[in-house]
A and B are shown apart, each in its own frame.
Chain A
């Protein structure tokens, strides 16, 4: 079986486990259960890939990855067993789920935007957005802080240290 098919199968099993736990009595342990399950699934995918490595001599390229994979499989299974026997602590729910999700999405969007609108504009927008999200009270100061960082990074990183910061559409301007 190809590793991609194997990975897709593992993902399907993980989703199934997630749904099963979500609607069972172990609901509050969902995260605790999914982490060792994910580790086991990933380890199995990696294990499948090691069989494609050429060179089966003693301590070849597959030896060390297989050793780590074997240990992850064993220890994750033990952790999973502990959770199912109720020996793991229930992790408290995230207090600010919405805010955290928003910060993560903004960070990922910022990363994606760098290639298109360049480092300077995307960073300015990122700082302004994040300070607003975190309810920074001095609204006017937000723009000064963001502008100050842009000026600092332009002078220090771009001009002084010669770091080729991505400029996106503004490539010709600088």
Chain B
């Protein structure tokens, strides 16, 4: 009952003009950010984090979460219209969305994506509400050793599920963790790796790292492949699917929402994997699988419902345990830290208004996405047509002023450029930048929990504490699984050859 009481109060608190305007702004920015190819939800949220600094913490987090949720729908706009996913998670939407546009049914594609996104997002939000509170309550009893194990498990799954070379992803995590050791030691109080510079006494701030790795490096990556060609979005028909057509895909939306939410809960799996698995599942159970890839509404709905519902799922470990499940979650942790808040079980005890405000706003954000998407698609398409030659300089300028504005520090701006260059180099050679950020975000928690655990119970604590032992074992398994799978594949190939 306490849950419903708090939730009711949170919904009522959303009814002031400031909060509504904040959510509307967040949804519009999110849809636009998601729709711009090259700007992922994490980049869109990262670019806005510093500007939320001067806002009230509750409003700031509501704004960023609205952006996060709406960006997942935004990605489908260019996926449907020009076969270019605005976000990686919308890649599966292209398979059936673009054929619909080619058939002159872009309105049906966009309408299905919109409804699928909103229903999926709302489903994820409801699951978040009912799972997060009991999990956070249980987490209050966790020991430092268990926290260390959970954080390592989070990092390990991110590294192993991130795709590509697992070893390189783990190295990327370790780079982030090592960067976080620069500055004042959290327990002994001595300075580490500062090279005598007082600028490094507090280590590298999180915002420059976020901006550099998620925004600046993206611009370098795009410039590296610069063609100078602009996106051309033609006029579209705006005929939405009929109610009968929507009714036919209800099962697909529900199934994909469940899959998306469950996948979202696991750190590292995220929206992209969720949308591909759901698309595949929808094709397998469909009565007309031959229509997939040729403009099936089910295909669009499956992909969009899954990627939007994964947002609610991914917020469960973030809010209940303080462990980010995705790159965007890592950025959100930066926002929490900026407002002197620590996500995790204590947040539920100390700041219930903020937690329940996030829950309620996530539900409302989905309704706003539906309304704004229905009436604003034409305007979004116009804005998305902006030339990349204008977009990229603006990403850089916004990243620079955003980084500077948090601490009024030019050192932070220099760090941001440095992180941008390093991030671009690492990405070019297969080291993903998102695990670096996760390492930086979780570094302090991991070190603090590890050392407190050892001080309290010696190194044996990681074997005697049952939860710590189990999650560390799971972390080892999740890291070794892709390696074992690759080795097994090679062995099979060798036998066949």
Contact = CB atoms under 8 A, between A and B. Distances in A.
Interface of A: 31-32, 35-36, 39, 43, 46, 49-50, 53-55, 58-61, 63-65, 68-69, 71-72, 75-76, 78-79, 82, 88-89, 91, 94-96, 99-100, 103-104, 107-108, 110-111, 114-115, 119, 123, 126-127, 130-131, 134-136, 145, 149, 153, 157, 161, 163-166
Given A39-B175, A68-B174, A153-B401, 18 more contacts: A31-B425, A36-B171, A49-B192, A50-B192, A55-B190, A59-B454, A61-B187, A65-B178, A78-B167, A91-B429, A96-B223, A114-B410, A127-B394, A130-B392, A134-B388, A135-B228, A164-B408, A165-B401
Chain B, interface SS category: helix
A72 B171 contact: yes
Contacts of B459: 58
Contacts of B454: 58-59, 63
A95 B225 contact: yes
B175 A72 contact: yes
B336 interface: no
B177 interface: yes
Contacts of A157: 401, 405
B327 interface: no
Contact of A111 (B167, B413, B425): B413
B30 to A, nearest CB: 20
A46 B224 contact: no
A18 to B, nearest CB: 14
Interface residues of B, number: 59
Interface in B355-393: 387-390, 392-393
Given A35-B431, A64-B451, A163 B404 contact: yes
11 contacts: A35-B429, A49-B192, A96-B225, A99-B223, A100-B220, A100-B223, A103-B220, A119-B401, A127-B397, A131-B393, A161-B405
A119 B403 CA distance: 13
> A91, A94, A95, A134 — which one has the most chain B CB atoms within 10 A of its CB?
A134
Given A76-B171, A96-B224, A163-B405, A59 B397 contact: no
Nearest to B166: A75
A50 B188 CA distance: 14
B387 to A, nearest CB: 6
A130 B174 contact: no
B263 to A, nearest CB: 27
Contacts of B187: 61
A161 B54 contact: yes
Contacts of B165: 79
A164 B425 CA distance: 32
B451 to A, nearest CB: 4
Interface of B: 54, 165, 167-168, 170-171, 174-175, 177-178, 181, 185, 187-188, 190, 192-193, 216, 219-220, 223-226, 228, 387-390, 392-394, 396-397, 400-401, 404-405, 408, 410, 413-414, 417, 420-421, 425-426, 428-431, 446-447, 450-451, 454-455, 458-459
Contacts, number: 155
Contact of A149 (B216, B225, B394): B394
Chain A, interface SS category: helix
Contacts of B170: 71, 75
Contacts of A72: 171, 174-175, 178
B178 A59 contact: no
B393 A134 contact: yes
A163 B408 contact: yes
A134 B225 CA distance: 12
Contact of B188 (A43, A60, A82, A131): A60
A95 B428 CA distance: 13
A114 B226 CA distance: 27
A149 B168 CA distance: 39
A62 B421 CA distance: 28
A122 to B, nearest CB: 10
A119 B413 CA distance: 12
A122 B451 CA distance: 46
B163 to A, nearest CB: 14
A134 B220 CA distance: 12
A75 B451 CA distance: 24
B54 A134 contact: no
A75 B389 contact: no
> A32, A111, A166 — which one has the most chain B CB atoms within 10 A of its CB?
A111
A88 B164 CA distance: 11
A131 B390 contact: yes
Contact of A165 (B393, B404, B447): B404
B174 A75 contact: yes
B410 A107 contact: no
A134 B181 contact: no
B446 to A, nearest CB: 8
Nearest to B226: A96
Given A79-B171, A91-B428, A126-B393, A59 B181 contact: no
B389 A136 contact: yes
Nearest to A132: B389
B194 to A, nearest CB: 10
